[in-house]
Amino acid sequence: MSAEATSPGARSRRRGRTSIDLRRLGRAALLGPASRDRLPDAIGHVADAHRAHHPDADLLVLGKAYVLAEMSHRGQFRKSGEPYITHPLAVTLILAELGAETTTLTASLLHDTVEDTDVTLDQVRSEFGDEVCYLVDGVTKLEKVDYGAAAEPETFRKMLVATGNDVRVMSIKLADRLHNMRTLGVMRPEKQARIAKVTHDVLIPLAERLGVQALKTELEDLVFAILQPEEYERTRAVIADRATTGPSLDTIAVDVRRTLREADISAEVLIRPRHFVSVHRARLKRGEMRGTDFGRLLVLVGEDADCYAVLGELHTCFTPVISEFKDFIAAPKYNLYQSLHTAVAGLDGAVVEVLIRTHQMHRVAEAGVVALGNPYTPVDGAEPADGERADPTRPGWLSRLLAWQESATDPDTFWTTLRADLAQDREISVFPADGGMLGLPAGATCVDAAYAQYGDGAHGCIGARVNGRLATLSTVLVDGDTVQLLLAQGPVQAPGGVGGVGGLGDAGGPGGERTGPVAGQAQEAAPGPSPEWLDHARTPAARIAIAGWLAANPESLRVPESEPRAPGAVTAGRRGVANVVVDVPEDATVRLAGCCTPVPPDDVTGFLVRGGAVTVHRAECSAVGRMAALGRSPVAVSWGDEAECRVTLYAESFGRPRLLADLTEAIATAGAAIVSANVEPPSEQRVRHTYTLQLPDAAGLAGLMRAMRDVPGVFDVRRAQHEPAS
């Protein structure tokens, strides 16, 4: 059976409601259904909780679902000896207290019937309709007989895919797991630990992403007690000791109520105790705990504007801790959460955290997607134009998960990747340069953005611009960044051919100006992803796509038999005399510094170096400052009458075939002679060229640099400013 054993005498989760006796409910279930004109007594608590949120709800369908569930589970018992019907009743009550609508409650009453009894999906569909049938099917486990060890990961895959179409599937699963965790005490310790570990790795993150904080916090505490029993007992002792300390939180709450009352702001001020895991984290972070560390103040108001009015009064009448202020109303979290967070200090210096929100925001903060009711109800009876059910609860993280799971055909890969994906606890939004928005987990890089936007087309990504500036693919993105991804032109191929990984692959210009091949030049294949991309990828979609391409192109991982030789300079010729006049003996050797390669009419200065030679530098060269710091006196230098000059230029480019040929052609067309050229090995498909050039006239230098920049794939050309690498 799907549900685990119950622990007799378990306390009700919510205070203020009469404790539910599961044994009494079970006995009532065994007595059979009530008459047709009233609900069975066993679901009275469910009906009361449901009507509290939905006064006009039709409860007859709940009675009908209960009758079917009770009859089908009759004779089945939980491991504690309780009648099995107590489990679906408890799950349904949890959802009813959160405000779930009638369809969800109907499905929760029936959620184990297809899995554990002779009831079929066709029967559920005929009795309760397609929606209830879909929800029941979504939470029904796959049989171990059919799937073996893959049953659990494949069940979660099935459940997540179903959640993509109807988020209420996961709401039922979370409530189901909460009741099972509450009643896990009679299971073997090793089984308790296994279930708690899956809950910690998968279901708690899903509850967080769906915004169901009421379930998430209780699940955290239950898992904490099982997986870290010693820390749990220590935390419980700390909380118990706190009960005898001064009421500092109560005192500040009284002050806040008085302040808001004097400002004529209608607000409800509550003390919200921290749950066990929150206290544990605070204790690890702060060490010694003060009275105000055991809870927060919750201020509930009627309208959004009242939230900011409360904030203004608190920051005026108390000392605010500005670093603790966060506005999740103007910028809601990805899980629907809205609230103002701040912290203020009382007269005694004690700091208390304050949450400010409307009553509706509080309901959504507690129940998340459950508070939305039925998100698929057409507005004014109109169906969506495309015939699909519009789902406002399907956030970016869920869409990404559904996309990459299709590529993770292996259950182990899916299970491992799912846990890693859910371990990401924040989400950022970045904006492609061509419009739209991409939701990515915090820590995502340009590689992740490329695969999120282009899918397998990102194999040909060769660079990016972040906020208008060139960036490597390993650049970590932050919330609000604008990203322009630069893609190669040709089809992606393995590095065994022209333009492979690590080669000079085809590239568009830095602004994406190039839309086709160079005139008269054949279109060549673009490079594919390199193994290093896996180090930069954070999203499962990117990692699976990269790993799949590398597996299909094993030659991309081939290691050369011997280390390649360092690239050597190609020397075309040398001129012996520099076009400068220096105030030194005529036989002194004069040379232009290679670190800055001055040309007329640069402002220059010289220094005597070893061997009696004079090295000429541009006045702004960093070497000039170093020479002066060493106490060397400058030598007066001026330019001679010769028009010719020599200069060293660095060209930065994305790799592509024929890039070197196109650059040398541009240099020759500008009338410059190549004295030497050096091409460094590619790094992340970016290539650096160093050219020492002889120009017939220094006036042509600016035009030469423009011609080199116009070569497709070249994004920067500059004169040498520092000592080039050997």
**Catalytic one of 97, 112, 116, 131:** 116
Amino acid at 536: H
Least Cα distance to 553 among 536, 584, 530 occurs for 530
* E strand intervals along 630-696: 634-635, 637-639, 645-654, 673-679, 686-695
Instruction: Calculate Rg over the CA atoms of the chain.
Output: 35
Least Cα distance to 396 among 203, 134, 164 occurs for 164
**Do residues 477 and 445 make contact, with C-beta atoms less than 8 angstroms apart?**
yes
At 345, give phi and psi (nearest 5°): -105, 135
Residue with tokens 């480019």: 653
How, if at all, do strands 295-301 and 351-358 pair? Answer: parallel
- d(Cα 612, Cα 103) in Å, to the nearest integer? 94
**What secondary structure letter does DSSP report for 583?**
S
Instruction: Tell me if residue 130 is catalytic.
Output: no
Least Cα distance to 314 among 340, 334, 285, 344 occurs for 344
- d(Cα 681, Cα 685) in Å, to the nearest integer? 9
- d(Cα 390, Cα 384) in Å, to the nearest integer? 7
Q: 355: part of which helix (H) or strand (E)? A: strand 351-358
Amino acid at 14: R
Two tokens at 658?
A: 């024929």
**Catalytic one of 41, 48, 115, 231:** 115
Two tokens at 634?
A: 């400058």
Amino acid at 367: A
Amino acid at 249: L
- Report how far apart, in Å, the C-alpha atoms of 360 and of each of 75, 336, 338 are: 43, 12, 10
Give the three-class secondary structure for 638. Answer: strand
Least Cα distance to 206 among 167, 179, 165 occurs for 167
Instruction: Tell me if residue 288 is catalytic.
Output: no
**Do residues 268 and 275 make contact, with C-beta atoms less than 8 angstroms apart?**
no
Least Cα distance to 443 among 459, 424, 418 occurs for 424
**Do residues 475 and 445 make contact, with C-beta atoms less than 8 angstroms apart?**
yes
**Do residues 207 and 215 make contact, with C-beta atoms less than 8 angstroms apart?**
yes
**Do residues 690 and 650 make contact, with C-beta atoms less than 8 angstroms apart?**
yes
Give the three-class secondary structure for 719. Answer: strand
Residue with tokens 């409601």: 17
Q: Which residues of 245-280 are buried (b: 16+ CB within 10 A; e: fewer)?
A: eeebbebbbebbeebbeeeebebebeeeebbbbbbb
Query: Residue 196: left if φ>0, alpha if ψ -120 to 50, beta else—which one?
Result: alpha
Give 269's strand partners.
299
Which residues carry out catalysis?
115-116
